[in-house]
Structure 1
């Protein structure tokens, strides 16, 4: 499991986060075309360009034995994620908006800092807040993909879909579900199950909107295929998440963490996050592809 999780996390650190930052502050003249008009778009674009360098210590520390060297590198990455999280209050002060897409973006900006904190504790061999090291290790990919990528995509989908309660629920419930899952870590398995239900509902809403409203209006076959894959994958991967959370709460037979990493984790990383970000980069770059 360790090797697979490390590969997924490395992908999140080095590729998914910078790709997402470019979607928050896309290049081009005029107003931003991301989920909401961003604060300091030039700074976010600059941060996206150098993010792989900032994330490199975090990626390297994953492959080292727990100890001082791994912890020091993890601290460097955690500092970078903390700097990214500080962009959230700055953005909120400038935009003064708590619209659904904006909530999704603020969540995305803050989520890597949760992952960075968990990474430092896990690499140091310290059971932060009493959590086992395996749980801390899995918190790192969770907040790169569910916290960062999924929240960001939910905001993009909400902005592009027809205005209405469905789009708003998707943009609100993905951040809410992510935070409820985190809160469940501190409460009990039933609270974590409640968070999984909310997060799954949000992710399925994103999948439905992507399939019904975004995908049909796209011209390019490749982009349509990427959107279709990202929507279809969520149906299966989030069903697995519900199964696992239900099993933890009730004792019902459920997948092991190793099996979850190989299915739920890998599916969300490649099938959902990577496919979604590739599609949305194309849509943002070539706006005329969005609608027929």
Structure 2
């Protein structure tokens, strides 16, 4: 990656660390996460600092507190599973959301150290970090929230809540098994996210009486239609050798769109929904 792309990716990671994760954790409704959110700056600030330090021991050391913070989040996945004793689609999505920031943090520590984790060069690890903040954490969480707020028995909502975690896992597996597996993961993830966008646009957007919330939901749905098509194009090109966008172009379009248009708008909308409608809030909190 060139310098400009690296700086853009770092800004997206900064957004994920400082805003997206704490906003999302507030929507999970899991006992104990409130304390993690209060202490989150102790993890996010040094993690953010590590992005602007030269690769090496100091940068890796600064990223370690962030890794510990994400580990604290991940420990709530088995705790939640033990508490709710359910592997319903919406719960699978939320459990995935709780686990994925730790994947991003491990990649961050390795990348900041300049260590080729599992043989992957630092520039690949650098892209893994925002991917598991936005396509991992945020996408899975929003899919779970959409599933919970949808009509009981909604097959589309359940499919979305399962497809997003499955697609994310396939993409991760594709790092080891090859570009065609990654493409398969992109197909599954895109299908899940398009379902999330469709349900949000068709059902949830029309349910709210607040114009600002409706606009945020509309933007997040519309952005998904475009950004996930770009993800499919890029993954197909990587697997087949067909022409496809460069990493610089993908960061500026797919990356920025998913971070601002989908992740931030979605979480702000869900925050407003929980304040606006107690019924939706109760459903979303689980």
Q: TM-score band (shorter)? A: over 0.9
For the residue of structure 1 that corresponds to 2:115, the secondary structure is coil
Q: Given that residues 42 and 65 in structure 2 are in contact (C-alpha distance below 8 angstroms), is that contact kept between their aligned partners in structure 1?
A: no
Q: 1:187 — aligned with what?
A: 177
Q: Deviations over 1:137-172 (max 9, x none)?
A: 000000011110110000111111123210100001
Length, aligned pairs only? 276
Q: 1:15 — aligned with what?
A: 19
Q: Residues 290 and 98 (structure 1 numbering): CA distance in 2 closer, same or farther, change over 3 Å?
A: closer
Whole-angstrom CA distance in 2 between matches of 1:272 and 1:114: 21
Q: 2:191 — aligned with what?
A: 201
| Equivalent in 236, 249, 259 of residue 246 of structure 1 | 236
Segments of 5+ residues of structure 2 without an aligned counterpart are 282-286
Q: 2:162 — aligned with what?
A: 172
For the residue of structure 2 that corresponds to 1:149, the secondary structure is helix
Segments of 5+ residues of structure 1 without an aligned counterpart are 26-37
Structure 1 outlier segments of 4+, above 6 Å? none
Q: Deviations over 1:161-197 (max 9, x none)?
A: 1232101000010111011100000100000000000
Q: Given that residues 229 and 275 in structure 1 are in contact (C-alpha distance below 8 angstroms), is that contact kept between their aligned partners in structure 2?
A: yes
Q: 2:284 — aligned with what?
A: none
Q: Deviations over 1:2-59 (max 9, x none)?
A: 110000000100110000010012xxxxxxxxxxxx3xx2x21121122122211111
Task: Give the superposition deviation at 1:290.
Answer: 5.7
Q: Given that residues 43 and 68 in structure 2 are in contact (C-alpha distance below 8 angstroms), is that contact kept between their aligned partners in structure 1?
A: no
Q: Given that residues 85 and 110 in structure 1 are in contact (C-alpha distance below 8 angstroms), is that contact kept between their aligned partners in structure 2?
A: yes
CA RMSD in angstroms comes to 1.3
For the residue of structure 2 that corresponds to 1:228, the secondary structure is helix
Whole-angstrom CA distance in 2 between matches of 1:192 and 1:281: 32
Q: Given that residues 36 and 72 in structure 2 are in contact (C-alpha distance below 8 angstroms), is that contact kept between their aligned partners in structure 1?
A: no
Whole-angstrom CA distance in 2 between matches of 1:126 and 1:251: 28
Q: 1:24 — aligned with what?
A: 28
Whole-angstrom CA distance in 2 between matches of 1:180 and 1:72: 30
Q: 2:7 — aligned with what?
A: 3
2:236 counterpart of 1:232: no
2:201 counterpart of 1:211: yes
Q: Deviations over 1:88-126 (max 9, x none)?
A: 111111111111111111001100100010001101111
2:86 counterpart of 1:104: no
2:51 counterpart of 1:47: no
Q: 2:247 — aligned with what?
A: 257
Matches within 5 A, 1:124-163: 124-163=113-152
Q: Given that residues 94 and 144 in structure 2 are in contact (C-alpha distance below 8 angstroms), is that contact kept between their aligned partners in structure 1?
A: yes
- Which region of structure 1 is more displaced relative to structure 2, 174-183 or 73-82? 73-82
| Equivalent in 78, 81, 92 of residue 67 of structure 2 | 78
